[in-house]
Amino acid sequence: MDLRRKRAYDTPSDGDGFRVLVDRLWPRGVSKERAHIDLWAKETAPSPELRRAWHAASDDAWGEFADQYRAELAHETADAVAALAAEIRGHSVVTLIYGARDPEHNHAVVLEEALRALL
C-alpha cells in the first residue's frame, strides 16, 4: 500500500486514491465537495487538549508533542487507529488529509508512522 499525506488546501487528484481526513475539525474554508474526502477519521486526531497545546507551542516543542500524540495513539485512541488501519487495508493508495501548514511538523506524520506499524 502506498500511504501518503497531503494538505486539505491542496488540490485533490486522482492519484490520491482513498482520501482520509485525519483532523478533528473540518478544515476552514474547504467545502465538502472540494475536499473529496472518502472517510473522516476524526477519532484518530490528537485530543482537543493536545491540539490546543500544540497550536500554542513553538516549533521547538515538536518532539514533545509527537511523543504525547504517540502515547494517545497507543492508549486512548488505539481502537480508532486499529479501525482505520482495517478500513484502509484494502486500498492500494491512501492519502491522509490534514489542515496544518507545516508538512513535516503535524499530527498526520505521527499517525502515518502508527498506521505503517499496523499495516
Q: Model's pTM, two decimal places?
A: 0.94
The pLDDT assigned to 62 comes to 87
pLDDT band at 14 (very low <50, low <70, confident <90, very high): very high
> Among residues of the chain, what percentage have pLDDT more than 90?
85
In this predicted structure, what is the pLDDT of residue 57?
Answer: 63
What is the structure's pLDDT at 56? Answer: 66
pLDDT recorded at residue 52? 85
Position 53 scores a pLDDT of 82
Half-sphere exposure of 117 (CA within 13 A, CB side): 12
Kindly report, residue by residue over 35-85, the tens digit of the pLDDT.
999 999 999 999 999 988 877 667 788 899 999 999 999 999 999 999 999
